Structure 1
Amino acid sequence: MADSVPNDDPATDGYPRCVTSRWLTALPVFNEVNYVDDVLDQVLRYSDRILVVDDGSTDGTSEKLDARRAAQPEQIEVIHHPKNRGYGAGLQSAFQYTLENDYEGVVTLDCDGQHQPHRIPRFIEAARSADIVSGSRYLKKYKGDDEPPAERMFINRRITADLNERLGFALTDAFCGFKAYRADALRVMRITNDGYAMPLQLWVEAAAAGLSVVEIPVPLIYLDLDRSFGGSLDHSETRLNYYNEVIDDAIAKVRGEGRLPDTPYFRAQSCG
């Protein structure tokens, strides 16, 4: 079951400015040459160890990342995918790196300016009592919140409601990329989806493993209203149908592997 926690702003609530723990901050990146330096500068104020997963960038992002790593090798690590593999693939590389290097956990955030790094300590604090901490853009209204594109809001609400109905969660935002994962949670989830639908498989895996989830509010910021989801997925109805198929397949997978928990949830078909 997903719960919420009080909206304490880490910039003012006494949390350390820089987290010097065995927690990693990971940023999946693809063609973010205009944002990457500024985002790294901000993240370094709140995290002393950063992993950037460059998913085959072609706009100069890769060169910028290599220069930053050369200048700050104790703080910044970079993994380069030879070609673009997808958002989910970037996160899978980050999860693997977290486990291979014995971190306690990892905070993930996007590198396009939509997530505020000063909230990183709050995510880590919340992870002391939860396996997964997920940001939600819909738990609280912030002054200056952006208005999301109508079709993205519709799909988010529909898919979030579907996941709650089928998995027994109480999520308010199924797609926010600002999250914290304890390493123990990463070890028991079997994530294979390489694309934007990876969070949907993640929720099924979390439910199958009986992981505890907490949501904390984050501002609603949209800077790239023209983002492409790739080919036919730019069509909202096609994307919604695809997301439902991902959920169906993920549930079928855990059922076939005998990993269903003792729960009345995990219904076989989506709400459509």
Structure 2
Amino acid sequence: MLLAIPVYNEAGSLEGVFSEILDHLPPQIQAIVAIDDGSSDGSAEILDELSRKHDRIFVRHHQENHGYGCAMIESMQIARKHGYSHLVTMDCDRQHRPEDLIRFIQMDPSIDVVSGSRYLPDSRTQGDAPEDRVEINSRITRRLNQNYGWNLSDSFCGFKRYRMESIDPNQFKETGYAFPMEFWAYCRRMNLEIQELAVSRIYTTDSRSFGDDLDRRRRRYRYYLETLKAAEKKYQVVYPAAPGI
């Protein structure tokens, strides 16, 4: 298995996060790839030093910021290219607990997508999630469930495990924060098996910016919705018929 971690201007937390990851790294995870997406705060240099110290850490650098989705697509491409059976992705902003890695590994390997959820009954909470993110997540998740016949509770958690045999990363084109929208449409089209796994909801800071345009709640929701609709058209997603029809 491969663990992939997107990084953008996380210099203040990198050494601590990677130390915790290495302390809790299951033996099934053979390598860690950090995707440095054009960081300008010294993250690149810290990652290179970590890679020199630890032979299981590899770094891919982008000269410019290409977006969260680009990092996800590249991670999947690396996993496919090097023959990894599964890819695990997690963030490095301390919102994901390295202790949970083993729980993703222990899930049935035949499941196509194991998706972390911060909103299941067993999910623990530390800090308050920003209201706008909770609202947008809830609206998008509800729409997916209604239209796809699913029962998701969290459509935006980046802590996931992917069975690479089931996923063709070259299909994906969305490079921004709306990447999950295209991914879910792809899952529906390919009829992939998805199972959620309770993870902690950790918010110790509300510092993330989505960019000047997307920091506004309505614009961000519209961006997600438009991306989802475009992906559904691209993948020719058909909604299941309502009961009795």
Residue 233 of structure 1 aligns to a residue in which SS?
Answer: coil
1:66-99 Cα distance to aligned partner (Å, 9 max, x none): 1111222x30111001110001111111111000
Correspondence 1:162-241 to 2 at 5 A: 162-187=143-168, 190-241=171-222
Q: Which amino acid aligns with 1:170?
A: N
Is 1:53 paired with 2:35?
Answer: yes
Distance in 2 between residues matched to 1:254 and 1:142, nearest whole Å? 32
Residue 33 of structure 2 aligns to a residue in which SS?
Answer: strand
Distance in 1 between residues matched to 2:175 and 2:116, nearest whole Å? 21
| Residues 131 and 92 of structure 1: CA distance in aligned 2, closer, same or farther (over 3 Å) | same
Distance in 2 between residues matched to 1:191 and 1:223, nearest whole Å? 32
| Residues 262 and 199 of structure 1: CA distance in aligned 2, closer, same or farther (over 3 Å) | closer
The equivalent of 1:130 in structure 2 is 111
What is the Cα deviation at residue 230 of structure 1?
A: 0.9
Distance in 2 between residues matched to 1:54 and 1:211, nearest whole Å? 29
Q: Conserved in 1, the CA contact under 8 Å of 2:69 and 2:177?
A: yes
What is the Cα deviation at residue 226 of structure 1?
A: 2.7
Distance in 2 between residues matched to 1:42 and 1:127, nearest whole Å? 25
Q: Conserved in 2, the CA contact under 8 Å of 1:167 and 1:204?
A: no
Question: Which stretch has the larger CA shift, 177-186 or 124-133?
Answer: 124-133
Q: Where does the alignment leave 5 or more consecutive residues of structure 2 unmatched?
A: none
Distance in 1 between residues matched to 2:172 and 2:235, nearest whole Å? 11
Distance in 2 between residues matched to 1:68 and 1:159, nearest whole Å? 37
What is the Cα deviation at residue 187 of structure 1?
A: 2.5
Question: Which stretch has the larger CA shift, 35-44 or 140-149?
Answer: 140-149
1:84-141 Cα distance to aligned partner (Å, 9 max, x none): 0001111111111000000011110001111001111211221414100000000025
Distance in 1 between residues matched to 2:99 and 2:13, nearest whole Å? 16
Q: Where does the alignment leave 5 or more consecutive residues of structure 1 unmatched?
A: 1-22, 266-272
Distance in 1 between residues matched to 2:215 and 2:239, nearest whole Å? 38
Correspondence 1:86-165 to 2 at 5 A: 86-140=67-121, 142=123, 144-165=125-146
Q: What count of residue pairs does the alignment treat as equivalent?
A: 238
1:240-259 Cα distance to aligned partner (Å, 9 max, x none): 1111101110001112xxxx
| Residues 37 and 84 of structure 1: CA distance in aligned 2, closer, same or farther (over 3 Å) | same
Identity %: 37
| Residues 82 and 58 of structure 1: CA distance in aligned 2, closer, same or farther (over 3 Å) | same
Distance in 2 between residues matched to 1:102 and 1:261, nearest whole Å? 32
